Amino acid sequence: MTHDAAELVRPTSIPLLGDPLNRYWIELAGVNPNLVDQFRPALVTFLAFDKDRSVSPQTTVGTGFICGSSPEQGIALVITAKHVLDGIHGIQTPRPRHSSSAYFVPSSSKQLTLDPAKLKVVWMGSTRVAMMNAITANYNESTDLACCVIAAQEGEDFFHAPHIPLDTRIPTVGQIVHMVSVDEMSAVELESPKDQSGTGQVLRLNRRISIRRGTVTGVYPDGYGQYRWPCFTTTIPTTGGMSGGFVYTPRDGETIAANGIVCADLDPFQSKNDQTQCGYSVIGCSWPALALRLPESLPAPTNAATKSLLELAKVGHIPAPIGGIAGFELETLEDGDFRLRRL
């Protein structure tokens, strides 16, 4: 098996500028409880179930962040990593009905289901927890980015959550960035469900908000190794479940906005808990997420017309990205997918 040379080249490590301990990354959550409280209601966690509603360490799949919401409609837009949705599908269908070598496999067998019995989205505020339903989702094959729209489950009031807008600016090498995600997720079943719908099931959920500070070690507008989409790398290590969180560049007086989404972890093991060791995470640039599409109205009928997040931002249906949206063009690919291109 051969590899591209780019896959084997590690970016130059950059310690935090001005840090007397010469650390490569710092965990900020423990000494910034107020910041944790601000970020907690902007993050969600995905829970996936198979047909038996069994609970395992894999039940808690990954992180997402709220990019916009409409309290009037009772919905919120969530951005995450595409491989988080892939992980959800893998749990929903642990025993595929078709061989991987089969010539003809129904497309429906490859898609995750948004059935509330098989997928829940957990939102946590400081004093309240809500189990949300995903009502539509979209991703494309050219990036590791995805989006979904969530709504409160039947019988519950809609939550009022802050949102993190996208940032179309690309960070530079050596720039300080913060990574915000959910860490140490777990689910334990306290009471079994009465049926396959999940009615009566009681879970104990644990999670921790992680806020990490580090530096950008490389910027790759055309992709990096096997990661064939615009991305950058950082000194910040990640752990399981942090995929789908966001990265931002802290700037005095500016709105916090996501210029990256956590996509991959190539960190050496010793960096996971040692801040003097350089991490190696791959962060997808957030601006290509503007090519993702959503129905023009919800609930959406079958084959409903869709619009890209770029188009929705232009008419004010989602928050305008920081950094602006001028200079972008939507491309239709041969397979009918869409991609965003910088002019």
Q: What is the pLDDT of residue 45?
A: 93
Strands 293-295 and 306-308: antiparallel
Q: What is the pLDDT of residue 1?
A: 32
At position 43, the amino acid (one-letter code) is L
Which residue, 307, 10, 283, is CA-closest to 149? 307
**Contact (CB, 8 A) for 209 and 36:** yes
Q: Which residue has the tokens 């992709």?
A: 223
Question: Burial letters for 13-47: b for 16+ Cβ neighbours within 10 Å, e otherwise?
Answer: ebbbeeeeeebbbbebbeeeeebbebbbbbbbbbb
Alpha-carbon gap, residue 312 to 156, rounded angstroms: 27
Q: In whole angstroms, how large is the CA radius of gyration of the chain?
A: 20
**Contact (CB, 8 A) for 260 and 321:** no
C-alpha angle 262-178-59 in degrees, rounded to nearest 5:
40
Alpha-carbon gap, residue 70 to 289, rounded angstroms: 20
Q: What is the DSSP letter of 126?
A: S
CB atoms within 10 A of CB 325: 17
CB atoms within 10 A of CB 307: 15
Q: Measuring CA to CA, how many Å separate 206 from each of 45, 109, 212?
A: 11, 31, 19
Q: What is the pLDDT of residue 8?
A: 46
Structure tokens given for 94: 């642990």
**Contact (CB, 8 A) for 231 and 284:** yes
At position 108, the amino acid (one-letter code) is S
> What is the SS3 assignment for 180?
strand
Q: Measuring CA to CA, how many Å separate 333 from each of 140, 146, 148, 340?
A: 10, 17, 22, 10
Alpha-carbon gap, residue 326 to 290, rounded angstroms: 12
CB atoms within 10 A of CB 154: 7
Which residue, 249, 184, 159, 161, is CA-closest to 29? 184
Q: What is the pLDDT of residue 104?
A: 46
Note if the pTM is more than 0.85.
yes
The domains found in the chain, sorted by start residue, are 5-342 (2.40.10.120)
Q: What is the pLDDT of residue 110?
A: 55
Structure tokens given for 51: 């047909």
CB atoms within 10 A of CB 272: 13
At position 252, the amino acid (one-letter code) is D
pLDDT in tens, the chain (343 residues): 333 434 446 778 899 988 999 999 999 999 999 999 999 999 999 988 887 777 776 788 899 999 998 888 889 999 999 999 998 888 888 655 544 444 444 444 456 788 888 888 999 887 888 889 999 999 988 899 999 999 988 777 767 788 999 999 999 999 999 999 999 887 777 777 777 667 777 777 788 899 999 999 999 999 998 899 999 999 999 988 899 999 999 999 999 999 999 999 988 888 988 999 999 999 999 999 999 999 987 777 777 788 999 999 999 989 999 999 988 888 887 777 788 888 7
